[in-house]
Structure 1
Amino acid sequence: MVPQARMTAWEPDTITIRGVRLPVSDLVNRSFFEPTQIEALRARLQAGQPFPHLVVKDLFNPQLLELVTEEFDQSQWIDVRSKYESTRRTALGAHLGPASQLYFDLVNSGWFTEWLSAVIGVPYLLPDPKLFGGGLHESKPGATFAVHRDFNLHRHLGLKNEMVFITYLNKGWQPEWGASLELWNATKDKCVTKVLPEFGYTLLMPHGPASFHGHPDPMNPPDGRPRRSIAAYYYTSPNAGKTREDQVSSIFIKISPLDKLKRVAQMISPPLLWSAARKLIKR
């Protein structure tokens, strides 16, 4: 992977990958991050049918996405074959090409996950740098993915699955070729919405008890092209927002008698009582 790393160059405010210069300020469309736009996006997501979801266009610099697409042929793949699905995904924790890694550096960053939290209304979102279930995805002609709901918990970390985030990479994809992502109703008897896997479309799909989706009919592009996308999952911890100060603070060997007394009081006091006492002290 060292030769790939050499294909990436850093200049002030610019990243160069395989000769393509990408201004750092243009890697994502900053207009989506304006407060008024966040409110509008959240309203659109909540209004999504048959369950909350959101499709946005041109969130990412198209040159970045084109560079990501170029790296599919050099990726480490795991084939997934069963009577329910036919696809392949990059291996867990795989070494990615520089453009693909840059994409995930963006979507896994603190400021980006804060934006996602604001849009979907779920605080303390956590990314997964090893990309369990995510990474680069590719399906060949004839592939299907039966209607399903995603996993509830990360298999290795036990964190709660909150959302999948997918960017599609297929230029000129036509609806009649199949493989649009179908969103089905809660009774699981019909498709309500279809998301075309067109280049530059990004889907935010919160996980929930009714979030059934798939592309159950075999895809049939006339020229044999694959269906490609890049995906990341986001999680929350069951303890998010619930930790006590004595559990998350550094422990010093030598502390003042007053601080020792405070620590003992905090350990024996119910969290609500301690919180109320701190508010009174601050007045």
Structure 2
Amino acid sequence: MMLNWTSFESKIPYLRDQFAQERPFRHVAIDDILLPDAARRAEAGFATALRHKQHSAPKSHRDVLLKTGTPNLKVMTPDQVAIFTEIHSNRFVRFLEGVTGISPVFADPELRGGGLHSSWRGAYLNVHTDFNFHPTEDTHRRLNLIIYLNEEWHEEWGGALELWNADVTRCEASFLPKFNRAVLFETSEISFHGHPVPLTCPEGVTRKSLAVYYYSYWPDGIERRAKTNYVLTPEQKAALRADVLSAIAQGAKTFEEASEMAPRWQPAHVRRMFAEVARVAS
């Protein structure tokens, strides 16, 4: 047994109330979700499971940096596989239905987009909403469950999971990636979340987590979205505006030129900001 069943199953009424009332969208934190020794063994297994991954490998976009992971159960340690087996079990799915009121809930043994995640010093994950359907089952993504496995983590290193309001003007809730803490939240078109500030943990220390997503039947009125929708926070927009204005001052005449001069930003963000600056100047 890997999950601390006695601890969290006894709290379903409390967790249900917390989940229903939290803002900016429904969520709840569940501390000590795993048995302590199981959590420690799972954390220790990251080095083995991700030994062939290069965290510094170039990414196809710039909304995520210095993050790696795997959904492949075949490379994970037996303890990690056992955890995923239990959180995909019918018993745990019934627990989720009891807490969230969503029924039916379907687990995803394929771990599409989930699995083990590890982020290094300097890493960030921009605020976003996730893809909203399962590519093979055609079911609607409804819940994210993230379990953090960082036995030593200091607040000054950053890395808190941030939950933002619908227009991404303010962060309304945040959770440090505390050891053996799970955060469960409802996914929707406005469930903006991420950790957009680069980590300042020491070299060699990583922010580790297990991520699992759950699905339900497809509702009316929701369009399928296969891609993650990344957005910038107000602080990031201000920094991007400064970079675009600097590029223009140095002679950039197109957003492509500005993007080359501001390489830390995703070109799509530069294009929108370049157009906005041009409108104001005209």
- Structure-2-length-normalised TM-score: 0.71
After superposition, give the CA deviation of every residue in 1:38-82 in whole Å (9 maximum; x if it has no partner).
121111011112111000111210110111112111225486822
1:55 match: 29
CA distance in 1, matches of 2:73, 2:154: 33
2:8 to 32, 35, 38: 32
Are residue 205 (structure 1) and residue 179 (structure 2) matched? Answer: no
Deviation at 1:238, TM superposition (A): 3.4
Deviation at 1:178, TM superposition (A): 1.2
CA distance in 2, matches of 1:238, 1:84: 28
Deviation at 1:94, TM superposition (A): 4.2
After superposition, give the CA deviation of every residue in 1:158-201 in whole Å (9 maximum; x if it has no partner).
21101111110112312221111111111111111111001011
Are residue 160 (structure 1) and residue 140 (structure 2) matched? Answer: yes
Unpaired segments ≥5 residues, structure 1:
1-23, 240-283
After superposition, give the CA deviation of every residue in 1:254-273 in whole Å (9 maximum; x if it has no partner).
xxxxxxxxxxxxxxxxxxxx
AA partner of residue 32 (structure 1): F
AA partner of residue 117 (structure 1): E
Deviation at 1:95, TM superposition (A): 3.7
CA distance in 1, matches of 2:171, 2:74: 34
Helix, strand or coil for the counterpart of 2:40? helix
Structure ranking higher on relative contact order (CA contacts 8 Å, 6+ apart): 2
- When Rg is computed on C-alpha atoms for both structures, the one with the higher figure is 1
CA distance in 2, matches of 1:180, 1:110: 30
When residues 90 and 100 of structure 1 are mapped into structure 2, their CA distance, relative to the original with a 3 A threshold, is same
CA distance in 2, matches of 1:27, 1:145: 28
Are residue 141 (structure 1) and residue 117 (structure 2) matched? Answer: no
After superposition, give the CA deviation of every residue in 1:3-61 in whole Å (9 maximum; x if it has no partner).
xxxxxxxxxxxxxxxxxxxxx4x741413213xx2121111011112111000111210
1:252 match: none
AA partner of residue 55 (structure 1): A
CA distance in 2, matches of 1:71, 1:109: 22
1:85 to 56, 61, 64: 64
CA distance in 2, matches of 1:133, 1:94: 16
Deviation at 1:222, TM superposition (A): 3.2
Are residue 189 (structure 1) and residue 169 (structure 2) matched? Answer: yes
Are residue 99 (structure 1) and residue 82 (structure 2) matched? Answer: no
AA partner of residue 84 (structure 1): D
When residues 132 and 195 of structure 1 are mapped into structure 2, their CA distance, relative to the original with a 3 A threshold, is same
AA partner of residue 56 (structure 1): I
Deviation at 1:224, TM superposition (A): 3.8
Helix, strand or coil for the counterpart of 2:121? coil
Unpaired segments ≥5 residues, structure 2:
220-282
After superposition, give the CA deviation of every residue in 1:224-249 in whole Å (9 maximum; x if it has no partner).
4110001111111339xxxxxxxxxx
Contact 1:180/1:195 (<8 A) preserved: yes
Contact 1:28/1:59 (<8 A) preserved: yes
When residues 78 and 56 of structure 1 are mapped into structure 2, their CA distance, relative to the original with a 3 A threshold, is same
1:235 match: 215
Size of the aligned set, in residue pairs, is 213
After superposition, give the CA deviation of every residue in 1:122-174 in whole Å (9 maximum; x if it has no partner).
11111111211111100010011000011111233321101111110112312
CA distance in 1, matches of 2:24, 2:107: 26
1:127 match: 107
1:67 match: 41
CA distance in 2, matches of 1:164, 1:94: 22
Percent of aligned pairs sharing the same letter: 33
Contact 2:121/2:203 (<8 A) preserved: no
